[in-house]
Structure 1
Amino acid sequence: MRVLFASTTGAGHFHPLVPLIDACTARGDDVLVVAPPGLGAALAAREQPYRIGARPPDDELTRVMTRVMTRVLELPPDDGVSLMTREVFGRLCVTAMLPTLEAACREWRPDLVVHEAYEFASVVAAEHQGIPHARVAVSAAGFARSTDTLLRPVLGPYGPGIVERLRDSPYLTRLPASLDPSPYALTHRYHETPEPDALPDWWGGAEEPLVHLTLGTEAGALPTAGGLYRAVLEAVGGLPVRALLTAGHGTVDPYS
């Protein structure tokens, strides 16, 4: 079986694909990964073949991201989400990556396209070539579903019904139903079996409930990150729990 995996830039978008890429490789599938230049070094360090597409023009991306940051800091969060989904993921990233993904689907002829939830150029390319596609969660299912309707103005010109078929495609997630009920009809849940004692004992043998705190891999680079992380840490500081905070590489020190 030939499986093409597609991702946008960012650890939080690529890493959910990794266990599926590894599983396909282990069972002998032919795998091709397609991603923007920002993931070039990460893909070069892996064993799978890959192709690198383009990134959006810097001036356009900067202009949109400036608007997004303004909305995040000054207006309701939904406005920033709308801009990111529609303008960055739906318009700029699709325009930049589509030529590479169209060529990969046409020339390599995968049997299946698997993409992270906010990579849409591969969906357009798969639809144009009649290739089935599946979506891998990078967030809560309810959040992803709430942003689907934002895509109609930007994906509609590529073909009728693309957004509807994106919504109806298989949705793969590692989150359990108890934490993340899914509105997607074709939801499939998967998990990795951790190695014994994979998590170091940072708590000196304590057995209190373990609370995992995360704001994702990108929030830590926002101008408001310091105060946000302080508030999160102080909220759990007095609770009888073990707390594990995970963050992206660019996260600022909340107490600096």
Structure 2
Amino acid sequence: MRILFSSLVHTGHFFPLLPLAAALRDNGHELLFATGSDNHDTITSLGMTPIEAGIGLDVGAPTAAEQLGVDPDPKAERSPEELVRLIVTAFADVLPRRFVADLEPVLAERAPDLVVWEAGNLGAMIAAKRAGIPSIAHGFGRVGDDDFDVQGAEVIQRTAAEFGVELPGGRGFGDRYLDIYPESLQGKRFLAEEADLRIPLRPVPFSKPGPLPAVAEGERTRPLVYLTMGTAFGSAEVLRTAVAGLSELDVDVLVSAGPSVDAGELTGLGDRVTVESWVPQDQLLPRVDLVVHHGGAGTTLGSLGAGVPQLFLPQGADQFIHAGVVTEAGGGEQLLGEAFGADAVAETARRLLDEPGYRQVAGRIAGEIAEMPSPAEVATRVVKPG
């Protein structure tokens, strides 16, 4: 079969799809992957064909702001209501229109037998349905019942109608839905409404290959804490504050600055702090004792899969959702707003390292994830008619 995957360009939307795509490739299928050019080298290295498609939120969010008549500056202060409207307009109107425009000629020329669309890339779903090509949704995180989901469904229905596509209800809009979130943490409404279409899929961490820093190799005399703010919400100030708190403990700290923070800004942090621009996170997570991070879906799921307690410092998007559900389950803690500070980080991290209950909960969820069907198992199922 010829199968076309399509995701938004952002790492948290792109990486989760790669394990299944690779499994389908290994089964002899031809894989096309439509996304932004930043991901094309990775796609090529995996033996798949990259196709340029779509725009990122760096373009989509300001465009949505201009449509709404609000300040397009990404750093502008917004009310919760305005923020929801902005996100909904970007994800359910601006981005989908561009993906439909880019994918329509590709679908006509390449005629794939199946389209796998990342759940944030609603334009790929509309393009597939408009072309009459079978499609399947691939989740990247938890499905909630908040204002974004409710308003987003209404807007995407209108957007699709403008392209002559009538969408049924449900998160997958009538398509089967590959769900990489453990059932015990997934949204209960989604589980009830999509029970017949939901296909569990084990989340498998993916990162570009590379060597681990020396601090993560070999035997250690102190716990190792991994600190990252991901690829899109990096802040040197937040990282410095977190390091200041962690440095009060007898631990080694490994910081991944990420692409949005210059690692050169993070100097003079002490002998027990190692700063890297990037680390192979999939290899690192099973080696650490605590993960302190922003709450992105990829880092959250990777840490859960490794059975590691988490300290969440959410900054935006769906990070508050992941932080909340893991904290409520007992697998971690979160520091929000004014509660965040060096002393609070030190106190909370010490508790997460010392009290066994957090690791026990994380281990239980790791066991649940291990029991989910692997990408290789699911690859044989998705090519069969729904």
> TM-score w.r.t. structure 2 length?
0.50
Shift of 1:54: 4.5
Is the counterpart of residue 200 in structure 1 residue 287 in structure 2? yes
Matched with 1:24 is 24
Size of the alignment, in residue pairs?
232
Give 1 or 2 for the bigger CA radius of gyration.
2
Matched with 2:159 is 154
What is the alpha-carbon distance in structure 2 between the residues aligned to residue 36 and residue 101 of structure 1? Answer: 12
- 1:178-207 Cα offsets, whole Å, 9 max, x none, are 11032324111011578999711447xxxx
What is the alpha-carbon distance in structure 1 between the residues aligned to residue 36 and residue 129 of structure 2? Answer: 20
What is the alpha-carbon distance in structure 1 between the residues aligned to residue 315 and residue 44 of structure 2? Answer: 21
Query: Secondary structure in 1 aligned to 2:121?
Result: coil
Query: Secondary structure in 1 aligned to 2:31?
Result: strand
What is the alpha-carbon distance in structure 2 between the residues aligned to residue 41 and residue 216 of structure 1? Answer: 30
2:173 to 137, 153, 167: 167
Worse-superposed segment, 88-97 or 54-63: 54-63
Is the counterpart of residue 75 in structure 1 residue 79 in structure 2? yes
Describe the shift of the 1:187–1:68 C-alpha distance in structure 2 as closer, same or farther (beyond 3 A).
farther
Q: Any unmatched runs of 5+ in structure 1?
A: 204-208, 245-256
Matched with 1:139 is 141
Bigger RCO of structures 1 and 2 (CA < 8 A, at least 6 apart)? 1
- 1:188-235 Cα offsets, whole Å, 9 max, x none, are 1011578999711447xxxxx732355789769xxxx99589368468
What is the alpha-carbon distance in structure 2 between the residues aligned to residue 24 and residue 229 of structure 1? Answer: 45
Worse-superposed segment, 233-242 or 131-140: 233-242
Q: Does the 8 Å contact 1:168/1:184 carry over to 2?
A: no
2:340 to 225, 230, 234: 230
Describe the shift of the 1:184–1:236 C-alpha distance in structure 2 as closer, same or farther (beyond 3 A).
farther
What is the alpha-carbon distance in structure 2 between the residues aligned to residue 4 and residue 15 of structure 1? Answer: 15
Is the counterpart of residue 184 in structure 1 residue 203 in structure 2? no
The amino acid across from 2:183 in the alignment is A
Describe the shift of the 1:218–1:36 C-alpha distance in structure 2 as closer, same or farther (beyond 3 A).
farther
CA RMSD after TM alignment: 3.9
Worse-superposed segment, 44-53 or 20-29: 44-53
Matched with 2:118 is 116
Describe the shift of the 1:59–1:22 C-alpha distance in structure 2 as closer, same or farther (beyond 3 A).
closer
The amino acid across from 1:150 in the alignment is V
Q: Does the 8 Å contact 2:22/2:46 carry over to 1?
A: no
Query: Secondary structure in 1 aligned to 2:33?
Result: strand
Shift of 1:153: 2.6
Describe the shift of the 1:197–1:45 C-alpha distance in structure 2 as closer, same or farther (beyond 3 A).
closer
Worse-superposed segment, 154-163 or 5-14: 154-163
Q: Does the 8 Å contact 1:8/1:35 carry over to 2?
A: yes
Describe the shift of the 1:84–1:219 C-alpha distance in structure 2 as closer, same or farther (beyond 3 A).
closer
What is the alpha-carbon distance in structure 2 between the residues aligned to residue 152 and residue 97 of structure 1? Answer: 16
Shift of 1:113: 0.6
The amino acid across from 1:200 in the alignment is R
Matched with 2:244 is none
Q: Does the 8 Å contact 1:56/1:93 carry over to 2?
A: yes
Describe the shift of the 1:59–1:134 C-alpha distance in structure 2 as closer, same or farther (beyond 3 A).
closer
What is the alpha-carbon distance in structure 2 between the residues aligned to residue 173 and residue 110 of structure 1? Answer: 23
Q: Does the 8 Å contact 1:56/1:96 carry over to 2?
A: no
Worse-superposed segment, 29-38 or 39-48: 39-48
Shift of 1:151: 1.6
**Seq. identity, %:** 22
Worse-superposed segment, 153-162 or 114-123: 153-162
> TM-score w.r.t. structure 1 length?
0.72
Matched with 1:253 is none
What is the alpha-carbon distance in structure 2 between the residues aligned to residue 175 and residue 48 of structure 1? Answer: 26
Is the counterpart of residue 100 in structure 1 residue 210 in structure 2? no
Query: Secondary structure in 2 aligned to 1:168?
Result: coil
Q: Does the 8 Å contact 1:127/1:162 carry over to 2?
A: no
Query: Secondary structure in 2 aligned to 1:84?
Result: helix
Query: Secondary structure in 1 aligned to 2:23?
Result: helix
Q: Does the 8 Å contact 1:135/1:169 carry over to 2?
A: yes
The amino acid across from 2:2 in the alignment is R
Is the counterpart of residue 212 in structure 1 residue 322 in structure 2? no
1:84 to 76, 83, 87: 87
What is the alpha-carbon distance in structure 2 between the residues aligned to residue 95 and residue 179 of structure 1? Answer: 32
What is the alpha-carbon distance in structure 1 between the residues aligned to residue 58 and residue 149 of structure 2? Answer: 29
Worse-superposed segment, 109-118 or 38-47: 38-47
The amino acid across from 1:139 in the alignment is G
Shift of 1:139: 2.4
